[in-house]
């Protein structure tokens, strides 16, 4: 899976809970402000109901968003809708409605700084909200407020918001990098650099479930006479043989996934090929390994086609039966047990 996709999924998991908490607070803020505002008269005007429906609709979209990007875009739309709601309330407040401008702007700047994972998204959210709140207003703040203090407050608020957004984005990126390192360590065989048994069996189980639509094969492969290689040439050469085998398998075909099952045993998961092409692919591998350094390598293997109706344990048992049948028949060959 692409790193960008993994990062999007990581961000979605990180932001999902905070957004789920913030969303009902934002929905409650609008009707509470209507009921507590003495400047607007009745809080039951049709346009107020229309704005509430808009907020509910965007909240519903946010709750079903399946990607971090969609969550971010929907959250931005939600903030713009909230800015529109308060712009309507400010206008209905008459001559003193502009007293709401600065507090609402500060709330939006500070309340959204941790909810977007890119600075560009944060600035776009703020720019749109500012446009909706302020465009066309003849008076933005009360005349009694010193303008230099207003600018100082606005600048400080924006600087805090940008700094927090940047720090939060960097934190999410660092936690993702650490998480990926641990994931790779947990899924990779240290010696050969290919997938370990746990990762390969996970991939095999996924392919088994999809094999009704896309044909897939599993091959259990064991290096012949590996104990003799270790005994005669030493464990360092044995390790080189394992690394060479893993490298040749990994470079064999882009549709192939390989993992080390343990010791000198490897598993190959091959998608999208028929039985004949799988046999040909393994024959190509046999020729490459025969010429591999530091020693010529031969292998025995058991191969089978995946079936979604057959359990993972049963598939492994069948492949193992084919492998040991190949060993009993003289090694350096592949057997299809079923």
Q: What is the pLDDT of residues 164-199, one digit of tens each?
A: 999 999 999 999 999 888 888 889 999 999 999 999
| Model pLDDT for residues 216-229, shown as the tens digit of each residue | 999 999 999 999 99
Does 5 score more than 60 pLDDT? yes
- Distant-in-sequence contacts of 134-143, Cβ < 8 A, 24+ apart: 134/101, 134/105, 137/90, 137/98, 137/101, 139/98, 140/98, 140/101, 140/102, 141/98, 141/101, 141/102, 142/98, 142/99
Does 1 score more than 60 pLDDT? no
Does 268 score more than 90 pLDDT? yes
Domain end position, chosen among 184, 207, 225 = 184
Residue 190 lies in a domain: no
- 166 and 28 both lie in a single domain: yes
Residue 44 lies in a domain: yes
Range of the domain at 28: 3-184
Residue 100's pLDDT is what? Answer: 83
Residue 192 lies in a domain: no
- 179 and 201 both lie in a single domain: no
Instruction: Name residues whose C-beta falls within 8 Å of residue 148's C-beta, 6 or more positions apart in sequence.
Output: none
- 179 and 253 both lie in a single domain: no
pLDDT band at 37 (very low <50, low <70, confident <90, very high): confident
Residue 189 lies in a domain: no
pTM: 0.70
Q: What percent of the chain has pLDDT over 70?
A: 99
Residue 305, beta-bridge partner list: 217
Instruction: Give the tokens for residue 186.
Output: 């947990």
CA 164 to each of CA 11, 83, 90, 114, 129: distance values in angstroms, whole numbers, following the listed order: 16, 21, 28, 7, 19
Residue 157's pLDDT is what? Answer: 93
pLDDT band at 293 (very low <50, low <70, confident <90, very high): low
Higher pLDDT, 139 or 279: 279
Domain end position, chosen among 133, 160, 184 = 184
Mean pLDDT across 204-208: 91
- 177 and 210 both lie in a single domain: no
Question: Domain total for the chain?
Answer: 2
Does 29 score more than 60 pLDDT? yes
- 180 and 204 both lie in a single domain: no
């Amino acid at each position: 899976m692409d790193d960008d996709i993994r990062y999007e999924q990581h961000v979605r998991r990180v932001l999902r809970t905070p957004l789920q908490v913030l969303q009902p607070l934002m929905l409650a803020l609008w009707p509470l402000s209507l009921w507590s505002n003495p400047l607007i008269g009745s809080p039951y005007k049709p346009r107020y109901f229309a704005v509430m429906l808009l907020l509910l609709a965007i909240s519903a979209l946010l709750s079903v968003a399946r990607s971090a990007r969609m969550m971010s875009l929907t959250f931005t739309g939600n903030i713009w809708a909230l800015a529109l709601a308060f712009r309507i309330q400010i206008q209905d407040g008459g001559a003193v409605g502009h007293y709401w401008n600065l507090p609402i702007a500060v709330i939006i700047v500070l309340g959204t700084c941790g909810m977007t994972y890119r600075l560009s998204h944060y600035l776009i959210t703020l720019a749109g909200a500012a446009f909706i709140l302020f465009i066309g207003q003849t008076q933005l703040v009360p005349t009694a407020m010193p303008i230099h203090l207003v600018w100082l407050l606005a600048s400080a608020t924006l600087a805090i918001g940008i700094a927090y957004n940047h720090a939060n984005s960097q934190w999410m990126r660092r936690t993702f990098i650490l998480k990926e390192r641990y994931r790779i360590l947990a899924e990779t065989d240290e010696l050969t650099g290919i997938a370990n048994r746990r990762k390969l069996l996970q991939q095999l189980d996924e392919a088994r479930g999809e094999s009704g639509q896309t044909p897939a094969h599993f091959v259990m492969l064991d290096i012949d006479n590996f104990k003799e290689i270790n005994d005669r040439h030493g464990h360092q050469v044995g390790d080189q043989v394992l690394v060479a085998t893993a490298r040749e398998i990994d470079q064999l075909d882009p549709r192939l996934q390989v993992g080390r099952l343990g010791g000198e045993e490897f598993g190959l998961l091959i998608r999208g090929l028929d039985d004949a092409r799988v046999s040909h692919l393994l024959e190509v591998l046999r020729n490459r390994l025969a010429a591999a350094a530091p020693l010529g390598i031969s292998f025995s293997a058991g191969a089978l086609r995946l079936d979604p109706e057959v359990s993972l344990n049963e598939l492994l048992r069948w492949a193992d039966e084919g492998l040991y049948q190949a060993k009993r028949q003289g090694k350096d060959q592949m057997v299809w047990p079923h």
